Amino acid sequence: MLKFVKLNQETPEKRKISDRKGDFHEIYNEYIIEKAKDQSSRCSQCGVPFCQVHCPLHNNIPDWLKLTAEGRLKEAYEISQSTNNMPEVCGRICPQDRLCEGNCVIEQSGHGTVTIGSIEKYITDTAWEKNWVKPLKVEKELIESIGIIGAGPAGLACAEELRRFGYKVTVYDRYDRPGGLLIYGIPNFKLEKFVVERRTNILKESGIKFVQNFEVGKDKTLDELREMHDAILIATGVYKAREIEIPGSELKNIFPAMDFLTASNRKGLGDKVDLFDNGTLDANNKDIVVIGGGDTAMDCVRTAVRQKAKSVKCLYRRDKANMPGSAREVLNAEEEGVEFIWLSSPKKFIGNSKVESIEVNKMELGSPDSSGRKKPVIKDGAEFKLNADLVIRSLGFDPENLPKLFKCESLAISKWGTLKIDLNTMSTNLKGVFAAGDIVRGASLVVWAIKDGRDAAVQIRKFLIEKDKLKNKKTVAA
Ligand SMILES: Cc1cc2nc3c(=O)[nH]c(=O)nc-3n(C[C@H](O)[C@H](O)[C@H](O)COP(=O)(O)OP(=O)(O)OC[C@H]3O[C@@H](n4cnc5c(N)ncnc54)[C@H](O)[C@@H]3O)c2cc1C
Ligand code: SF4
């Protein structure tokens, strides 16, 4: 260990730009074993590992790096999977620069972080390859059943943790495949779908029941589900796209990001998608303008490149330094030929029935707002026009109105529309109903959803044990 002094940081190679633009495969090549061992051996084995502190799951990073450096990959995998239900997913798509790697001590001292994410991915991909990843073996089947609404990372992590104890777990989802945004939001070039599918398959083999194409609120109300189960977890994510209220917003061919990304992901999975097949949601040979500067916007521009758009532009109202998207993804997009127009904001969409162009305001950064970030203000007389055949709005997501949707007006929500929970118990205001993931936090990250799902499982178990004790007491008293 401690080889950072003489061994430079090496991330897995990126594929050639011309190759990766031509397909939807992931853009990083895998480490080879010797490289993974070398890179792990750069870890300084800190007494207080800041990487671990800043990983939402508090993964035992120094331990699995040491084991990898020693070639003990199976043990490294055992430790890594003990705190994370999807290490191969997090290794691929966590914004490590803001989490574990950004806080690595050797990064702070100017030597370049240990490439934690890539090694986590390497360890778990190896585990899958070598057949070390097995379905859960439940020792004792319990009678209590839990209904989980939402098969995204929060719901899946909670389902796995509860099933581990022998509970009967049923996961309901309105989509036709489990995975949530891992399947229908995040594009293949960041996370190939087989990675998600093999995970959900192993959960099925572990005895978790999946009910797809089942929308709570339509197919059953929340109260009806509560009657069917001893506890419920709501993990429905956030899906309401923010609008742009400017003239011309009603024109055709202006779509929210999720419509565009879901269509592309579905095509990748071999589905029939009418709006893609008739050309509407296909960027091929079109001038594409994506509005927004977050990671979803980066996924849209890079999807458009791969669909062979004529041009791909990204409008963002602040400058590059103030962009919310991860620097890594902006760089990938720039390398792939996306044109960023910083300090710009749409003023008007122009066209006859369909959008044809956009009038754009030039912005400048004014004084800081309440969040401390400099507020973008319009620069007078500096408007310009851009051609656009397809406009994609990527301004973030808000929660849907769950009390209304679930026909349960008493379900408490915050002023942002997210579900209100007691942070100590993960419980909503309804007895036996818990919540986790984006529907509690607002749009966040996969690793936080997994953390919430695991925490919710602990709390649901406590709730069920207490309930059982109470029932036994009553029976004895009777
Ligand atoms: C385009 C995009 C790219 C992203 N990229 C990254 C990234 O690179 N790294 C990262 O860490 N995070 C990323 N995120 C964020 C991440 O995907 C989310 O934070 C995470 O998926 C939240 O997990 P969840 O389980 O709370 O919700 P979701 O993954 O949204 O899953 C919720 C599930 O609930 C189901 N559902 C909703 N309502 C109902 C209902 N009424 N009845 C039944 N089922 C219902 C949905 O169908 C869905 O399957 C990205 C998000 C988007 C949109
Ligand atoms: S889960 Fe994410 S933050 Fe934690 S070690 Fe893995 S890549 Fe880093």
Across 291-309, average pLDDT: 96
- Residue 139 inside a domain? The answer is no
pLDDT: is 450 or 476 the higher one?
450
Pairing mode, strands 384-387 and 240-241: unpaired
- The span from the CA of 165 to the CA of 254, in Å, is 48
Q: What's the pLDDT at 371?
A: 76
- Domain at 438, CATH number: 3.50.50.60
- In tens, the pLDDT along 402-447 reads 999 999 999 999 999 999 999 999 999 999 999 999 999 999 999 9
CA distances for 37 relative to 27, 55, 405, angstroms = 22, 21, 51
Query: How buried is 475 (Cβ within 10 angstroms: 0-12 exposed, 13-18 middle, 19+ buried)?
Result: exposed
Q: What's the pLDDT at 409?
A: 95
Q: Is the CB of 437 under 6 A from ligand 1?
A: yes
Q: What's the pLDDT at 13?
A: 85
- Residue 94 inside a domain? The answer is yes
Region for residue 397 given its phi and psi (left: phi exceeds 0; alpha: psi -120 to 50; beta: otherwise):
beta
- Residue 79 inside a domain? The answer is yes
Among the listed ranges 359-363, 435-439, 474-478, which one has the minimum average pLDDT value? 474-478
Could you tell me if 214 and 285 lie in one domain? no
Q: What's the pLDDT at 38?
A: 85
Q: Is the CB of 96 under 6 A from ligand 2?
A: yes
- In tens, the pLDDT along 37-56 reads 888 999 989 989 999 999 99
Q: Where are the alpha helices (H) located in 41-180, listed in sequence order?
A: 50-54, 61-69, 73-83, 87-93, 105-108, 116-129, 153-164
Which of 352, 373, 395 is the C-terminal boundary of a domain? 395
Could you tell me if 383 and 284 lie in one domain? yes
Could you tell me if 257 and 208 lie in one domain? no
Listed ranges 32-46, 101-115, 274-288; the one with the highest mean pLDDT: 274-288
Tally of domains in the chain: 3
Q: Is the CB of 152 under 6 A from ligand 1?
A: yes
Name which residue sits closest to atom 1 of ligand 2, judged by CA: 90
What does the mean pLDDT of the chain come to? 94
Structure token digits, residue 193:
């779908």
Do residues 170 and 229 touch, judged by C-beta distance below 8 A?
yes
- Residue 137 inside a domain? The answer is no
- Residue 135 inside a domain? The answer is no
**Whether pLDDT at 478 is above 70:** no
Q: List phi, psi (to 5°) of 329.
A: -75, -35
Taking the CA of residue 155 as reference, the ligand 1 atom at the shortest distance is 25
**Whether pLDDT at 4 is above 90:** no
> Token match 């303008």: residue?
289
Could you tell me if 352 and 256 lie in one domain? yes
**Whether pLDDT at 184 is above 90:** yes
**Which residue segment(s) compose the domain that 234 sits in?**
145-238+399-477
Which of 395, 428, 446 is the C-terminal boundary of a domain? 395
- The span from the CA of 231 to the CA of 228, in Å, is 9
- Residue 134 inside a domain? The answer is no
For ligand 1, the distance from its centroid to the CA atom of residue 441, given in whole angstroms, is 12
Considering only the C-alpha atoms of the chain, give the largest distance between any 2 of them, rounded to a whole number of Å. 82
- The span from the CA of 350 to the CA of 114, in Å, is 49
Could you tell me if 200 and 327 lie in one domain? no
Which of 129, 159, 191 is the C-terminal boundary of a domain? 129
**Whether pLDDT at 349 is above 80:** yes
Q: Is the CB of 146 under 6 A from ligand 1?
A: no
Q: Is the CB of 57 under 6 A from ligand 2?
A: yes
- Among candidates 132, 119, 131, which has minimal Cα distance to 30? 119
Across 366-379, average pLDDT: 86
Could you tell me if 195 and 72 lie in one domain? no
Query: What is the pTM (predicted TM-score) of this model?
Result: 0.95
- The span from the CA of 150 to the CA of 436, in Å, is 10
Could you tell me if 257 and 366 lie in one domain? yes
Could you tell me if 175 and 279 lie in one domain? no
Could you tell me if 379 and 293 lie in one domain? yes
Could you tell me if 370 and 440 lie in one domain? no
- Among candidates 173, 163, 87, which has minimal Cα distance to 126? 87
Could you tell me if 253 and 372 lie in one domain? yes
Pairing mode, strands 374-378 and 209-211: unpaired
- The span from the CA of 249 to the CA of 232, in Å, is 39
Q: Calculate Rg over the CA atoms of the chain.
A: 24
Among the listed ranges 69-73, 107-111, 264-268, 384-388, which one has the minimum average pLDDT value? 107-111
- Domain at 125, CATH number: 1.10.1060.10
Most ligand 2 atoms within 8 A of CB, residue of 53, 59, 124, 326 to mutate: 59
